[in-house]
């Protein structure tokens, strides 16, 4: 997909608009499948982008699905994933939501002692489950996306193994899988190997173990100079570690990973229009027709997105601060060098496929943008831009 394609999409569908390049998703998935052993399975972490068309496309590629809410599970089933290809890993939900997932016959991952006890007492060994372990590994590009440290709300601490064993013994609970996820944007592949060694040690306590799920956190580069996780090198190291474990113990299991951002981030291009150029005593602002109601990552995670001027790619480079149209401080980029921006120019935010539209809102009563899938050389509208009536859709007037 070229910049000209993006400009044509902006012309046809208007802005703001999210555009996803199907070829990019396919390329990222193939990097994974060719880097790890055939016994390794990949579960797309759909919280990163749940448009039904993206789910259908990922399913056709052969991926499985990682879900964190019961509605993601239902979306996955609607998109064509069979129940055995779906893993449900909720956090801080009640037993009723777990039971709803049981009725759909998907894999279930339990991440706290309270629900583990309730589940075991009520169902015993009638429904095998996974355990999400907190390995107490601090990893990830930002504290907010680090999920395996000692103060994380995610998972059951490795220091609670005696409690887990007591629940298993008293309820006859059948644990078929172990799961951990230490965070996102992990630069050091050794983090995965460290986690894998912890899983190997824990596996001795689970005689029915079939699966080890290492979560994900594979890094994608957001700016020049950053590196992507070397999945080929990681695949070789993991395969060696698994082979050594099998040789020493005679045990075998399927290894799972849950790529989300890694699959869809680079595929996404967020197109906006420059509304106004505003100069103060020290700063030149580019005010665009979007805000953190559409792309919250820079404000929430201090994340960096490359921004380019598609309309004037050869203009003189100048320094701008790019801001949104929300009545809050919604700065996308401070002091960013861009080709001269004029009112009406189309700008693109790169690497916007993951947690872009997915985290959007109607803050300030502004409307959510459209989504477009670029597939086989053609742009397909896969979500209409919201209209005013959508703001009132579920409101009930009593006055």
Does the annotation place 318 within a ligand binding site? no
CB neighbour list of residue 169: distance below 8 Å, 6 or more residues apart: none
> In the structure encoding, which two tokens stand for residue 48, read together?
């990163």
Residue tagged 């602002």 (tokens)? 285
Angle (deg, nearest 10), helices 190-203 and 231-249: 20
Burial class for 338, CB neighbours closer than 10 Å (0-12, 13-18, 19+) = buried
Does the annotation place 217 within a ligand binding site? yes
Query: CA dihedral in degrees (81, 85, 86, 89; nearest 10)?
Result: -160
- The residues carrying an active-site annotation are 327
Alpha carbon distance 294, 341 (integer Å): 21
> In the structure encoding, which two tokens stand for residue 266, read together?
């680079």
> In the structure encoding, which two tokens stand for residue 212, read together?
């080890």
Q: Does residue 336 contact residue 320 with C-beta atoms inside 8 Å?
A: yes
Q: Does residue 320 contact residue 338 with C-beta atoms inside 8 Å?
A: yes
Taken in order 141, 142, 146, 151, is the CA torsion positive or negative? positive
Q: Does residue 386 contact residue 392 with C-beta atoms inside 8 Å?
A: no
Alpha carbon distance 360, 250 (integer Å): 48
Alpha carbon distance 59, 54 (integer Å): 8
Does the annotation place 328 within a ligand binding site? yes
Q: Helices marked H in the chain — which ranges?
A: 3-13, 22-33, 52-61, 70-79, 95-103, 113-123, 161-171, 190-203, 231-249, 261-264, 297-301, 388-392
Query: CA dihedral in degrees (134, 138, 140, 145; nearest 10)?
Result: 60
Identify the bridge partners of residue 132 per DSSP, sorted by sequence position.
Answer: 179
Cα Rg of the chain, angstroms: 23
Does the annotation place 366 within a ligand binding site? no
Does the annotation place 127 within a ligand binding site? no
Q: Does residue 175 contact residue 108 with C-beta atoms inside 8 Å?
A: no
Q: How far is CA 4 from the centre of its chain?
A: 28
Query: CA dihedral in degrees (55, 60, 65, 67; nearest 10)?
Result: 10
Residue list for the binding site for substrate: 297, 301, 328, 355
Annotated binding-site residue numbers for pyridoxal 5'-phosphate: 217, 355
Binding residues, by number, are 217, 297, 301, 328, 355
């Amino acid at each position: 997909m070229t910049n000209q394609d993006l400009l044509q999409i902006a012309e046809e569908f208007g802005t703001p608009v999210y555009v996803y390049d199907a070829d990019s998703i396919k390329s990222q998935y193939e990097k994974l499948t060719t880097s790890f052993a055939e016994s390794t399975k990949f579960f797309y972490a759909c919280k990163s982008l749940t448009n039904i068309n993206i789910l259908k496309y990922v399913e056709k590629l052969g991926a499985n699905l990682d879900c964190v809410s019961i509605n993601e599970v239902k979306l996955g089933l609607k998109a064509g994933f069979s129940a055995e290809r779906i893993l449900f890993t909720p956090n801080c939900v009640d037993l009723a939501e777990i039971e709803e997932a049981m009725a759909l016959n998907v894999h279930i991952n339990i991440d706290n002692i309270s629900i583990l006890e309730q589940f075991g007492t009520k169902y015993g060994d009638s429904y095998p489950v996974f355990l999400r372990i907190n390995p107490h590994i601090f990893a990830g590009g930002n504290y907010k996306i680090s999920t395996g440290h000692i103060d994380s709300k995610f998972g059951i601490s490795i220091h609670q193994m005696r409690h887990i064993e007591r629940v298993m013994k008293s309820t006859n609970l059948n644990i078929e899988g172990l799961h951990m996820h230490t965070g996102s944007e992990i630069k050091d592949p050794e983090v995965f190997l460290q986690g894998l060694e912890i899983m190997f040690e824990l596996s001795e306590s689970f005689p029915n173990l079939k699966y080890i799920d290492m979560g994900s956190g594979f890094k994608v580069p957001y700016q020049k100079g950053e590196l992507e996780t070397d999945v080929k090198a990681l695949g070789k190291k993991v395969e060696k570690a698994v082979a050594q474990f099998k040789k020493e113990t005679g045990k075998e299991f399927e290894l799972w990973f849950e790529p989300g951002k890694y699959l869809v981030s680079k595929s996404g291009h967020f197109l906006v229009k420059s509304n106004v150029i505003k100069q103060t005593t020290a700063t030149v602002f580019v005010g665009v027709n979007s805000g953190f109601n559409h792309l919250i990552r820079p404000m929430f995670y201090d994340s960096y997105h490359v921004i380019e001027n598609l309309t004037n790619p050869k203009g003189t480079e100048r320094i701008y601060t790019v801001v949104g149209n929300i009545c809050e401080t919604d700065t996308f980029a401070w002091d960013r060098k861009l080709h001269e921006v004029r009112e009406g120019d189309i700008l693109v935010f790169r690497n916007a496929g993951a947690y872009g539209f997915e985290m959007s809102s109607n803050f300030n009563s502004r409307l959510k943008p459209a989504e477009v899938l670029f597939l086989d050389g053609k742009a397909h509208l896969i979500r209409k831009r919201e209209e005013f009536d959508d703001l009132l859709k579920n409101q009930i007037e009593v006055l």
